[in-house]
């Protein structure tokens, strides 16, 4: 039910949408790595180190 408190259609927030898109795409890139998405590492320190290595290799320019 539409009420004055919730106008329809909702206002488009360009900045918020851009930030959500950036975060979503970054998470999608990380999910390509099976180790990150399944979290095989038991210790948080190892998981964080693996995450950093994946990020470095993913954003490293290709030669």
Q: pTM for the whole thing?
A: 0.55
Provide the 8-state DSSP code for 17.
H
Q: What is the pLDDT of residue 7?
A: 63
pLDDT given for residue 40 in this prediction: 81
Instruction: Judge whether 11 and 2 are in contact, CB under 8 Å.
Output: no
Q: What is the pLDDT of residue 2?
A: 53
CA 47/CA 24 separation, integer angstroms: 20
- Note down pLDDT in tens along the chain; length 63 residues: 555 676 666 777 888 889 999 889 888 888 887 877 787 888 889 889 988 888 888 877 766
Strand, coil or helix: 25 = helix
């Amino acid at each position: 039910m539409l009420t004055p408190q919730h106008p329809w259609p909702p206002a488009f927030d360009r900045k918020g949408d851009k930030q959500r898109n950036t975060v979503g795409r970054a998470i999608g890139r990380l999910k390509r790595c099976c180790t990150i998405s399944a979290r095989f590492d038991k210790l948080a320190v190892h998981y964080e180190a693996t995450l950093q290595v994946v990020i470095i290799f993913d954003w490293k320019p290709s030669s």
